[in-house]
């Protein structure tokens, strides 16, 4: 995924947050709900990765979104990622 594609998917209200991640050496991973029987099919989540301060600390995002902050995220598969 390119940075342009990422920003086309993002709500403009979140552009500054994600640009801040990229400027600070983090990446942005895009996960999409793939559960065909779920009401939120197609919903995307955007998370930071790649540094100890990121939501996902590993250098590369995993193929499934880990549970973060009490949210159960097994429905979300990696759609793409962007690094700075």
Cβ atoms < 10 Å from Cβ of 18: 19
Q: What is the pLDDT of residue 84?
A: 78
Cα separations in angstroms, 3 against 16, 37, 52: 13, 31, 22
The torsion defined by the Cα of 17, 78, 44 and 46, in degrees rounded to 10, comes to -10
User: Is it the case that residue 42 has pLDDT exceeding 90?
Assistant: yes
Full domain range(s) for residue 63: 3-82
* Cβ burial 46-84 (10 Å sphere, 16+ → b, else e): bbbbbeeebbbeeeebeeebeeeeeeebebbebbbbbee
**How large is the average pLDDT for residues 74-81?**
97
**How large is the average pLDDT for residues 35-60?**
95
Q: How many domains does the chain have?
A: 1
């Amino acid at each position: 995924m390119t940075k342009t594609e990422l920003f086309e998917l993002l709500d403009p209200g979140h552009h500054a947050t994600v640009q801040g991640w990229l400027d600070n050496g983090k990446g942005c991973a895009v996960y999409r709900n793939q559960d065909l029987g779920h009401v939120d099919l197609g919903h995307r989540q955007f998370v930071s990765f790649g540094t100890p301060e990121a939501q996902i600390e590993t250098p590369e995002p995993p193929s499934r979104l880990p549970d973060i902050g009490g949210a159960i995220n097994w429905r979300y598969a990696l759609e793409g990622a962007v690094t700075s």
